[in-house]
Amino acid sequence: MNRSGKRLIKQVLGELPYTAELYWQLRQQGKPVSKSFSLRAVEKGLPVWLEQSGAARQEAQGGQNIFFFSTLRYWIEHATLTALALAGLGHDVTLAYLPYANWQKPINSFDLRRQNAYAQSVLQRTRPLLDPVSLLDVRPPNQALPEQLQEKIAEVSLRDVQYTLQVEDVSQDSDLYRLRMERNTQAAKAALYWLSTHHPDVVITPNGMIFEMGVIYQAASYLDIPVVTYEFGEQRGRIWLGYKNEVMLQDTDTLWERYKDTPLTEAQLEKVRTLFASRQQASLYENFSRRWQGAPSQGGQQARATLNLDARPLVVLAANVIGDSLTLGRQVFSQSMTEWLKRTVRFFAGRSDVQLVVRIHPGERYMKGPSVGDTLLEEIPQLPDNIHLIGANDPINTYDLVEIADLGLVYTTTVGMEMAMSGVPVVVAGRTHYRARGFTYDPNSWESYYQLLDLILQNPRQYLLTQAQVDQSWNYAYRFFFDYPLPFPWHLLNFGTELESWPMNRVLSLEGQVLFGNTFRHLAGIPAVMQDDMNAEMNMAQAPIDNTDGMQLGQSTVKGVT
């Protein structure tokens, strides 16, 4: 039978009750439907996880009523492990999921129901410690979403397309957008109905910004249920957490308010110096898993000679990757980062008295979307001589450019913070975590942006940061790199390996709770503990938790290329 015939049969069978489930039971005998949706890691680990979590739960006091959502194979596996740890700490956890293997490809009802049957067969084994619930099995009333929530779902769906294509200017008249709207709307209806019926104390979901994970965040927020979002960056043994916000916004307000007036100790300052040096020299630092540069530093004068730069003021624009999860939804006065890039280059095309170097993010080497360079050349096909593009693969170290820069321009990249650490005045165009911390220039409109550029370029030396501002930037850098990520035993990308060093019973022991207890409390939606006692326990765990023997993790789980 040809493919079209098989698709037709699946479409018919997919509409008939129990056909997909019976087929899976009889023909696949408990096996995964496809390699892309295999929960073998959970199946293998569950007997031990359940035994160890159950033993700890007998000694635990009562906790929160938690709705823990995930989708996609790798998030479901990791969420199952984490949910069992929360159960072992005394919380009552509903493990909710959607059994999708891919967010951008359609799947017929027959195959989806088979994947659902498979996921149920695996996750039902977590009872009675967890209550597994597939949102595919939740039957909400046949009614439209509230208008306010519907608008949010449309925003998430548009962001899904931007993220997938790595393009900010996307059409809502596309198959991908329609797919994302359909799935996101279904997830929103199921989640809204379940949450409004069961009233959990807190909702936990990865990311909270894109895909069905962003939908669950919006549905819970609409019902005024606290949401904890989480993600993983390049540090092993660390997790990012957000309480009542999308974690990728990297909200450091509370942290900075607490420590902005507390000078760094010499030991803390040395940690930042060492990290900064490793970033400059394209080497790995402690528990960080990514090299930030493709080439080590050769000095600013070498970069000047390589690019044939002259004595005119030099502006360095450090770009993010288009469509990256740390740039989407970060606009302040521009419609997007792409618009800001285009209008900025157009501005400097008319300023022959100034040199502009656009440093394309080295992270573009790992992405499939269009390059910032291509986008700018579409805007101005023949760049004037005063504008230089440095490609992602070009052997130019970003920090050599910082050394000779008179002014820095950034959207959200952490290079802006590091420019300030070098005393360079920096104009921040996007909503990044270090904006308005006292060491950057932060325009709120196109008018103020252009006025600020004209003003600084008249005499850049006059706008060099003061020593107090430089000190504040170093203080903030320490807080962001070493205080903001919380200790956590299992990184998404290597939790199987890390379980060898931190099995469930060790994490739930007194030793493990000294290191990770505060993080798990915060994850369970207990923010008072997070705010009051966060640093005390984190400082006890400040040494890197290296369980992977230096293994490279590659990209952050949602790109997150800063």
Cα-Cα-Cα-Cα torsion 341, 347, 348, 349, nearest 10 degrees, comes to: 100
For the chain, what percentages of helix, strand and coil (3-state, to nearest 5) are there? Answer: 50, 10, 40
Judge whether residue 500 has pLDDT over 60: yes
Task: Tell me the C-alpha distance between 374 and 151, whole Å.
Answer: 32
Q: What is the pLDDT of residues 399-446, one digit of tens each?
A: 889 999 999 999 999 999 999 999 999 999 999 999 999 999 999 999
CATH superfamily of 263-483: CDP-glycerol glycerophosphotransferase, C-terminal domain (3.40.50.12580)
pLDDT on residue 461: 92
User: What b-and-e string marks burial along 40-54, b requiring 16 or more CB atoms within 10 Å of the CB?
Assistant: ebbbebbeebbebbe
Please, which pLDDT band fits residue 531 given cuts at 50, 70 and 90? Answer: very low
Contacting residues for 27 by C-beta, under 8 A, at least 6 apart: none
Residue spans of the domains in the chain: they are 3-253+489-540, 263-483
Over residues 146-188, the pLDDT tens digits come to 999 999 999 999 999 999 998 999 999 999 999 999 999 999 9
How far apart (Å, rounded) are the C-alpha atoms in residues 309 and 300?
11
Q: What is the pLDDT of residues 120-140, one digit of tens each?
A: 999 999 999 999 999 999 999
The contacts of residue 349 (CB under 8 Å, 6+ apart) are 380, 383, 384, 387
CA distance 468 to 145: 51
> Which pLDDT tens digit goes with each residue over 439-458?
999 999 999 999 999 999 99
pLDDT of residue 18: 54
**Distance between CA 408 and CA 417 in Å, rounded?**
10
The reported pTM is 0.87
